[in-house]
């Protein structure tokens, strides 16, 4: 027997279907959510019929997380204050994309937005006004805030239908001088084709690219360097092998390194020596280093023994035992301390 209850969670009006189990009480059998937080009402199927039954507490958490994925003040991403997405959707491009968290989130709210033929999800004026509030707050406090753009897309994806939305984003960046916009892409070769400040860099834009292994670091960094920027940075996450960044760090061509392991059910392990090597390269050349997370695989010595353990060798054959743990349990300590380096903002 099914019954329905309604609730509201962070702007989500939710209708939850429950089934009566044999022993009494209610278990959530599915949920349809209507979103109004971006000014556009759309219905989502949260729990697919073939998926395990979702308990109410898990459902509420999923709805909170889904809202945060679109746009977040006080972002949960360790190296930014806010996140902003001009749209949702992308195309997988390299090994770093294999277990894309953004695609997973989109699927959780019933949206198929990944692939060259898939549509993109756009947002209303209400959504686009939020950074104006962040900018006003930063001006009032006299403190600059970092905005990661975009966590659910690639701003420089080569699609003509995205050009009007990019133009809208450039205008927003111009009108928010107290925010530092961190534009992270896996397509640095396309920046110069659509970016208006390729040779006249704005003080409040930092340009970055993903470098998950040496091959993609070599390829993407050179393309990133073809565009002028006051701050250039790398996201070495998920870090899938050792990377030597010395040629670019010693000349201060790259101003910031973020490193981290992968999270998620299919997370690939990161050898601690790969992280240590990046840290040491940054220290040697006086470049800020930020260690974001271990993800789901962390050194065995960092906590209680886990049931799931693997042995991983680095390129020199040095062995490390890694345990599978929840992301928060794994934490972000590297050799007993956190690394929270940031580049100095130009303004």
Instruction: Determine contact, residues 97/186, Cβ cutoff 8 Å.
Output: yes
C-beta atoms surrounding 309 within 10 Å: 12
The CATH code of the domain at 73-330 is: 3.20.20
Supply 21's token pair.
């189990």
- d(CA 45, CA 33) in angstroms, rounded, equals 7
- In the three-class reduction of DSSP (H, G, I as helix; E, B as strand; rest coil), residue 46 is classed as coil
- d(CA 291, CA 302) in angstroms, rounded, equals 15
Instruction: Determine contact, residues 220/188, Cβ cutoff 8 Å.
Output: yes
Burial class of residue 142 (count of CB atoms within 10 Å of its CB; 0-12, 13-18, 19+):
exposed
Instruction: Determine contact, residues 38/70, Cβ cutoff 8 Å.
Output: yes
- d(CA 15, CA 44) in angstroms, rounded, equals 11
CA distances from 288 to 77, 178, 231, 324, 332 (A): 17, 22, 12, 29, 16
* Residue linked to tokens 């070495």: 236
Reply yes or no: is the peptide bond before residue 238 cis, omega within 30 of 0.
Answer: yes
Instruction: Determine contact, residues 26/18, Cβ cutoff 8 Å.
Output: yes
* Residue linked to tokens 């565009």: 227
The per-residue pLDDT for 303 is: 63
The pair phi, psi for residue 185, each rounded to 5°, is -140, 155
SS (H, E, C) 253-300: CCCEEEEECCCCCCCCCCCHHHHHHHHHHHHHCCCCEEEEECCCEEEH
Instruction: Walk along the chain (347 residues) and give the pLDDT tens digit of each residue.
Output: 333 343 333 333 333 333 333 333 323 333 333 333 333 333 333 333 333 344 445 554 555 555 444 555 556 798 999 999 999 999 999 999 999 999 999 999 999 999 999 999 999 999 999 999 999 999 999 999 999 999 999 999 999 999 999 999 999 999 999 999 999 999 999 999 999 999 999 999 999 999 999 999 999 999 999 999 999 999 999 999 999 999 999 999 999 999 999 999 999 999 999 999 999 999 999 999 999 999 999 998 766 778 899 999 999 999 999 999 999 999 999 999 999 999 986 54
Element (H, E) at 83: strand 82-84
Torsion sign (Cα): 166, 141, 76, 279: positive
Which residues make up the CATH 3.20.20 domain(s) of the chain? 73-330
- d(CA 206, CA 233) in angstroms, rounded, equals 7
Instruction: Determine contact, residues 16/59, Cβ cutoff 8 Å.
Output: yes
SS (H, E, C) 179-214: EEEEEEECCHHHHHHHCCCCCCCCCCEEEEEECCCH
Q: In 158-167, which positions are buried (b, 16+ CB within 10 angstroms) versus exposed (e)? A: eeeebeebbe
Supply 201's token pair.
């860099």
**pTM of this prediction?**
0.81
C-beta atoms surrounding 48 within 10 Å: 12
- d(CA 277, CA 47) in angstroms, rounded, equals 43
CA distances from 254 to 190, 275, 292, 339, 340 (A): 19, 17, 18, 18, 17
Instruction: Determine contact, residues 18/101, Cβ cutoff 8 Å.
Output: no
């Amino acid at each position: 027997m099914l019954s329905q209850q309604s609730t509201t969670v962070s702007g989500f009006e939710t209708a939850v279907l429950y089934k009566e189990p044999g022993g009494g009480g209610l278990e959530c059998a599915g949920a349809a959510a209507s979103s109004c937080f971006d000014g556009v009402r759309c219905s989502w199927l949260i729990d697919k019929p073939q998926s395990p039954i979702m308990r109410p507490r898990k459902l509420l958490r999923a709805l909170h997380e889904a809202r945060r994925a679109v746009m977040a003040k006080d972002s949960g991403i360790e190296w930014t204050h806010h996140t902003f997405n001009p749209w949702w959707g992308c195309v997988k491009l390299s090994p770093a994309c294999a277990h894309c968290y953004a695609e997973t989130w989109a699927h959780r709210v019933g949206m198929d937005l990944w692939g060259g033929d898939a549509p993109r999800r756009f947002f209303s004026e209400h959504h686009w006004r939020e950074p104006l509030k962040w900018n006003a707050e930063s001006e009032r406090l006299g403190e600059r805030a970092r905005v990661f753009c975009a966590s659910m897309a690639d701003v420089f994806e080569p699609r003509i239908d995205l050009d009007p939305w990019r133009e809208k984003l450039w205008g927003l960046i111009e009108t928010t001088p107290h925010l530092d916009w961190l534009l992270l892409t896996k397509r640095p070769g396309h920046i110069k084709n659509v970016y208006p400040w390729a040779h006249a860099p704005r003080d409040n834009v930092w340009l970055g690219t993903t470098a998950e292994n040496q091959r993609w670091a070599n390829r993407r960094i050179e393309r990133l360097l073809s565009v002028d920027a006051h701050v250039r940075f790398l996201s070495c996450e998920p870090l899938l092998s050792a990377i030597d960044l010395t040629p670019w760090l010693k000349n201060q061509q790259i101003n910031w390194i973020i490193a981290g392991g992968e999270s998620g059910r299919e997370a690939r392990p990161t050898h601690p020596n790969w992280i240590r090597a990046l840290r040491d390269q940054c220290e040697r050349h006086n470049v800020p280093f930020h260690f974001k997370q271990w993800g789901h695989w962390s050194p065995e010595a960092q906590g209680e023994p886990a049931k799931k353990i693997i042995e991983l060798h680095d390129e020199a054959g040095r062995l490390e035992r890694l345990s599978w743990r929840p992301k928060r349990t794994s934490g972000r300590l590297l050799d007993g301390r956190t690394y929270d380096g940031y580049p100095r903002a130009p303004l």
